[in-house]
Amino acid sequence: WLAKNPEAVGCKRDGQSIFRELALFQDYHGLPAFKKALVDFMAEIRGNKVSFEPNNIVLTAGATSANETLMFCLAEHGDAFLLPTPYYPGFDRDLKWRTGVQIVPIHCTSSNCFRITASAIEEAYQQAQKKNLTVKGILITNPSNPLGTTMTRPELNLLINFITDKQIHLISDEIYSGTVFNSPSFISIMEALKDMNMEKNNRVHIVYSLSKDLGLPGFRVGAIYSNDPTVVSAAVKMSSFGLVSSQTQYLLSVMLSDKKFRNHYIVKNQNRLLKRQRKLVSGLEKSGIRCLESNAGLFCWVDMRHLLSSDTFEAEMELWERIIYDVKLNISPGSSCHCNEPGWFRVCFANMSEDALELAMQRLKSFVGSIKKHNHQESEKLRKESHIGKWIFRLSFQSFNEQDQR
Amino acid sequence: MEFTRKNRQLLSRIATNDRHGENSPYFDGWKAYDSNPFHPIHNPDGVIQMGLAENPLCFDLSEKWIRENPDASICTAEGLNKFKDIAIYQDYHGLREFREAVAKFMGRVGGNRVTFDPNRIVMSGGATGANETAIFCLADPGDAFLVPSPYYAGFARDLRWRTGVEIVPVHCRSSNNFRITRAALEEAYEKAQRSNINIKGIIITNPSNPLGTVLDKETLRSLVSFVTDKKIHLVSDEIYAATVFSSPRFISVAEVMQDMDCNRDLIHIVYSLSKDMGFPGFRVGIVYSFNDDVTNCARKMSSFGLVSSQTQFLLASMLSDDEFVGNFLRESSKRLAKRHHVFTKGLEEVGISTIKSNAGLFFWMDMRPLLKEQTTKAETELWRVIINKVKLNVSPGSSFNCSEPGWFRVCFANMDDKTVEVALDRIREFVLQGKEENNHEADKSQARAQPWRKQNLRLSFSSSRLYDESLMSPHMISPHSPIPHSPLVRART
């Protein structure tokens, strides 16, 4: 697209240089053309089932800044936000560091594919109360990082009902909304609200960014969307601390206003992500490793519980260190995402070439093979060394393996 | 009331209080300008914007450079091969070439008397972000920073709003040209101690906004030794460093530290390209600390306001071009000097004096003789007359926390030559009209003459309603609105 649109992005319009205007433009309301293009893009990602008002959008320096800004607007030092686990490790910095806000986890488990349940939310809320923390809201990431799944309608409705009942906020970080490559289709919080006739709800706010959907993290383009004019007003003033470069706003306003490009990009992106995800999933399967079934994101949530020496986080760390230093794959341990079950890892699949992914799968296969071989040898050794014999011998690692692969 | 109370509980105190400072009169002038902006053809009676410290005087040089260096843009045919790597690059260390170029530029601006280390260059969302980040690193909620007044109105937001830190002004006076004296610092510091206010540091702006003056070596040394003695920090906001257009030259705190016995861990610099290069839209702020812990912390915090990699890439190339930089800095000084001279001479001719200045994009104008009385109220009245009758948006000294009423900051760089003429004509007319009316009144009652009114420039008000009520209502415009006829801006909130 850039190669075909030289004038548009050479800081020119109708042959005239607009460099000067851009260099001077520091209005925190943002370039109107860019905001319009951005909301159109956001609507299209949501199948045009919802629409967004450009005046309700606040531009920020990435989603990092958007999330922090919302904390500053919605909570006091010492207040809490509930977050379903596992969650993006960066939240520990973005939501808590300079704001003094606490995170209380809503624990989700593999027993129901990490779906959010009413009892889990209630429990988290009670936990916060016990610690004398005022809960100001819930923050979800939908599609989820690190799970790679989109939220179901029952989950969304559950959340909306809960926050309405408790009169607290709901922030939906939809940074991965354009990466949904398979069914079920993405249901944004706006759509869920619309279907409940609560479209103008002023306690629900969306965070967005072009870092994942367009692959432009370097450009630092984030956004807050809110129906509450006071939130928009406060957030827009705070955006002074991290505005989007006017040069970047201009480039993207032209790019995203190109409807044909937008549509084409969204579709192509999703197709390629699907292909990649399948490659990862099948590659892992060959090593006897399963993933949580996912339809979005740039990663899979991988189940390596059966490779742990014990059902503990220490064992998870041990395994992780071996994968980093011996297998030489950088993947993220579930504990860093505050998962309460050891053995899960987030593995990204989009940020490398196909060949590199292929190589990664081969390395993993060898590694898993070597574990199995080692365990078999260990168990043989132990058997031979046992004086008493097989019947008092503890289950071998291999048996443990077989048991676990449900 | 009910809504407001509910709203306050629903939202944070920060979101609902006034500590962002945008309800200050500083921004009322913008509102007046925004609703009736001057245009030489379309609106010749409109308000001329003289409250915006922008520097567009050398854009022709930047534009020429961009035209001649297409590979500095990742969007041109020549630069497209870099697009992917740059678009992905979000490392908070920043592009090495960018940091090196900025460090070199800062060195040049300081007359090459200091070498800046690229590894200490930390990015932020403009100087706005840099100042806030510095405060987050150096102080806790409830702590305070000493700030010599008059000071930039935006500090109220940048230093205090989200950080919870307070400003304790160190009032400087015209009797000694607003110099920062050791005595004044000591007094402010002791007073704060007695009131149990924990002073964590001092923030200075050098060259000064709004004075347009540079700090001399003696004052800088005095500041460095003061903070070393008291074990507090010194943050030197040097955002106007390259706007120095005549002697004395700019001296960075970094230069002064070089041959002094001081605690380097206490010294930090804030910089930006918004004023020196005229690029406020590109959001290039820099935190430069001599303290490793602060550098590391600020770098982590820069995640909240990184410079767009597209912009880093462009500027890395531009600022490494020694010839371009040399020429730019020379031309910029020349053009600023000329502009400054035209204005100050024009004002002198009608008996208005300004603080002798050699830097910045503005001058500090003395309108005390025109005040009815030496009060902030009288200053505000005069200011409203200047906005509404003379139709110039200038910034009243009270918005800079100046302790003496009657001073105004007037920006001179952000307009073309023709507009300069119109502005000067309006001022001349206003002052001369005031003289005529005064002479008329003086004939009537000589007993009211007062010693400080040397030139009898007392203002007479013909209208009791000095301002339009509608201008006072909160209006959702940015403090830094662009020129309204810019095609970039179509929608208005």
B239 is known as an active-site residue: yes
Residue A263 has pLDDT above 70, yes or no: yes
Long-range contacts formed by A350-353: CB under 8 A, 24+ apart = A350/A273, A350/A276, A350/A298, A350/A299, A351/A298
Tens-place pLDDT, residues B323-333: 999 999 999 99
Chain-chain contact of A237 with B22 (C-beta, under 8 angstroms)? yes
Mean pLDDT of B21-44: 85
Mean pLDDT of B5-26: 80
- Side-chain-side CA neighbours of B320 within 13 Å: the count stands at 15
Which of the four pLDDT bands, split at 50, 70 and 90, describes residue B160?
Answer: very high
Q: Which residues span the domain enclosing A285?
A: 273-374
B221 and B333 inside one domain: no
The Cα B456–Cα B367 span in angstroms is 12
B275 is known as an active-site residue: yes
Give pLDDT, residue A320: 97
Report if residue B152 sits inside a domain: yes
Give pLDDT, residue A405: 37
Element (H, E) at A203: none
Answer for the pair B341, A280: CB distance below 8 angstroms, yes or no: no
Which of A12, A22, A24 should we substitute to test contact with B (largest number of B Cβ atoms within 10 Å)? A24
Mean pLDDT of A83-106: 98
Residue A400 has pLDDT above 70, yes or no: no
A248 and A291 inside one domain: no
Give pLDDT, residue B463: 34
Residue B479 has pLDDT above 70, yes or no: no
Q: Which one from B275, B276, B366, B427 is the annotated catalytic residue?
A: B275
The Cα B365–Cα B211 span in angstroms is 9
Tens-place pLDDT, residues A117-150: 999 999 999 999 999 999 999 999 999 999 999 9
Give pLDDT, residue A331: 97
CA distances from A130 to A76, A105, B347 (A): 18, 14, 68
* Coil, helix or strand at residue B245: coil
Structure-token pair, residue B26? 């500083």
Which of the pair, B163 or A17, is modelled with greater confidence? B163
Residue A399 has pLDDT above 80, yes or no: no
When mean pLDDT is compared across A16-30, A372-386, B4-18, B164-178, the lowest value belongs to A372-386
A200 exposure class (CB count in 10 Å sphere: 0-12, 13-18, 19+): exposed
Chain-chain contact of A219 with B310 (C-beta, under 8 angstroms)? yes
DSSP string, B279-292: -GGG-EEEEEES-H
A177 and A299 inside one domain: no
Give pLDDT, residue B391: 94
The Cα B216–Cα A59 span in angstroms is 41
Give pLDDT, residue A319: 97
Chain-chain contact of A73 with B12 (C-beta, under 8 angstroms)? yes
Give pLDDT, residue B465: 33
Give pLDDT, residue B466: 33
Which of A5, A16, A27 should we substitute to test contact with B (largest number of B Cβ atoms within 10 Å)? A27
Answer for the pair A145, A88: CB distance below 8 angstroms, yes or no: yes
A249 and A319 inside one domain: no
B207 and B98 inside one domain: yes
Q: Which residues contact B173 (CB under 8 A, 6 or more apart)?
A: B403, B404
Which of A38, A243, A251 should we substitute to test contact with B (largest number of B Cβ atoms within 10 Å)? A243
> What integer best gives the mean pLDDT of chain A?
92
Q: What is the pTM of this model?
A: 0.89
A242 and A330 inside one domain: no
Give pLDDT, residue B492: 32
B202 and B287 inside one domain: yes
Residues 116-145 of A with CB under 8 A from B: none
Tens-place pLDDT, residues A264-323: 999 999 999 999 999 999 999 999 999 999 999 999 999 999 999 999 999 999 999 999
A205 contacts chain B (CB < 8 A): no
Answer for the pair A147, A114: CB distance below 8 angstroms, yes or no: yes
Residue B361 has pLDDT above 80, yes or no: yes
Q: Which residues contact A88 (CB under 8 A, 6 or more apart)?
A: A141, A145, A146, A337
A241 and A363 inside one domain: no
B129 and B206 inside one domain: yes
Give pLDDT, residue B440: 72
* Coil, helix or strand at residue B342: helix
Mean pLDDT of A49-68: 97
* Coil, helix or strand at residue B393: strand
Active site residues of A: 88, 173, 175, 212
A244 contacts in B (CB within 8 Å)?
283, 308
Residue B152 has pLDDT above 50, yes or no: yes
The shares of helix, strand and coil residues in chain A, as percent rounded to the nearest 5, are 50, 15, 35
Give pLDDT, residue A330: 96
Give pLDDT, residue B487: 36
A183 and A280 inside one domain: no
A54 and A168 inside one domain: yes
A229 and A287 inside one domain: no
Chain-chain contact of B307 with A245 (C-beta, under 8 angstroms)? yes
Question: What residues does B410 pair with on adjacent strands?
Answer: B363
Give pLDDT, residue B405: 97
Q: Which of B288, B321, B354 is the last residue of a domain?
A: B321
Tens-place pLDDT, residues B45-56: 999 999 999 999
Give pLDDT, residue B443: 66
Residue A402 has pLDDT above 80, yes or no: no
Q: In this structure, how many other beta carbons lie within 10 angstroms of the beta carbon of residue B9? A: 11
Structure-token pair, residue A52? 């967004």
Q: Which of B412, B431, B450 is the last residue of a domain?
A: B431
A94 contacts in B (CB within 8 Å)?
303
Q: In this structure, how many other beta carbons lie within 10 angstroms of the beta carbon of residue B373? A: 11
Mean pLDDT of B105-110: 96
A352 contacts chain B (CB < 8 A): no
Q: What percent of chain A has pLDDT over 70?
A: 92
The Cα B88–Cα A217 span in angstroms is 5
Report if residue A406 sits inside a domain: no
A211 and A289 inside one domain: no
Chain-chain contact of A27 with B481 (C-beta, under 8 angstroms)? yes
B337 and B424 inside one domain: yes
The Cα A102–Cα B229 span in angstroms is 38
The question of ipTM being above 0.95 is answered as no
A211 contacts in B (CB within 8 Å)?
90
Give pLDDT, residue B437: 73
B478 contacts in A (CB within 8 Å)?
26-29
Answer for the pair B320, B101: CB distance below 8 angstroms, yes or no: yes
Give pLDDT, residue B456: 38
A356 contacts chain B (CB < 8 A): no
A12 contacts chain B (CB < 8 A): no
Mean pLDDT of A75-86: 98
For B309, which residue in chain A has the nearest alpha carbon? Answer: A218
B170 and B24 inside one domain: no
Give pLDDT, residue A388: 52
A42 and A168 inside one domain: yes
Count structural domains, chain B.
2
Taking the CA of residue B216 and the nearest CA in chain A, the distance in Å comes to 31
Give pLDDT, residue B449: 53
Here the CATH number for the domain that contains residue B365 is: 3.90.1150.10
A67 contacts chain B (CB < 8 A): no
Count structural domains, chain A.
2
The Cα B167–Cα B141 span in angstroms is 12
For A241, which residue in chain B has the nearest alpha carbon? Answer: B129
Here the CATH number for the domain that contains residue A285 is: 3.90.1150.10
Which of A129-145 are b and which e, b meaning 16 or more Cβ less than 10 Å from the residue's Cβ? eeeebebbbbbbbbbbb
Mean pLDDT of B268-279: 96
B314 and B332 inside one domain: no
C-alpha closest to that of A209 among A178, A231, A238, A181: A178
Helix axes A354-385, A397-404, angle to 10 degrees: 130
Residue B478 has pLDDT above 90, yes or no: no
Report if residue A352 sits inside a domain: yes
Residue A186 has pLDDT above 60, yes or no: yes
Q: Residue B360 CA to chain centroid, in angstroms?
A: 8
Q: What percent of chain B has pLDDT over 90?
A: 80
Chain-chain contact of A24 with B278 (C-beta, under 8 angstroms)? yes
Q: Which residues contact A194 (CB under 8 A, 6 or more apart)?
A: A49, A50
Backbone phi, psi, residue A82, to 5°: -90, 135
B166 and B235 inside one domain: yes
Tens-place pLDDT, residues B74-95: 988 899 999 999 999 999 999 9
B275 and B346 inside one domain: no
A231 and A299 inside one domain: no
Report if residue B203 sits inside a domain: yes
Which of B488, B490, B492 should we substitute to test contact with A (largest number of A Cβ atoms within 10 Å)? B488
Which of the pair, A5 or A87, is modelled with greater confidence? A87
Question: What residues does A172 pair with on adjacent strands?
Answer: A140, A206
Q: Which of B269, B288, B321 is the last residue of a domain?
A: B321
B308 and B336 inside one domain: no
Mean pLDDT of B403-431: 94
> What integer best gives the mean pLDDT of chain B?
88
Here the CATH number for the domain that contains residue B159 is: 3.40.640.10
Report if residue A47 sits inside a domain: yes
B314 and B331 inside one domain: no
The Cα A259–Cα A265 span in angstroms is 10
Report if residue A266 sits inside a domain: no
Give pLDDT, residue B4: 52
Chain-chain contact of A220 with B307 (C-beta, under 8 angstroms)? yes
B313 and B362 inside one domain: no
Q: In this structure, how many other beta carbons lie within 10 angstroms of the beta carbon of residue B45? A: 8
Q: Which residues span the domain enclosing B43?
A: 17-58+327-431
C-alpha closest to that of B149 among B386, B323, B397, B353: B397
Give pLDDT, residue A377: 78
Which of A2-28 are b and which e, b meaning 16 or more Cβ less than 10 Å from the residue's Cβ? beeebebbbbeeeeeebbbbbbbbbbb
Chain-chain contact of A247 with B12 (C-beta, under 8 angstroms)? no
Report if residue B9 sits inside a domain: no
Structure-token pair, residue A307? 């490779």
Give pLDDT, residue B431: 87
Give pLDDT, residue A243: 95
A197 contacts chain B (CB < 8 A): no
Give pLDDT, residue A10: 59
For B154, which residue in chain A has the nearest alpha carbon? Answer: A240
A95 and A196 inside one domain: yes
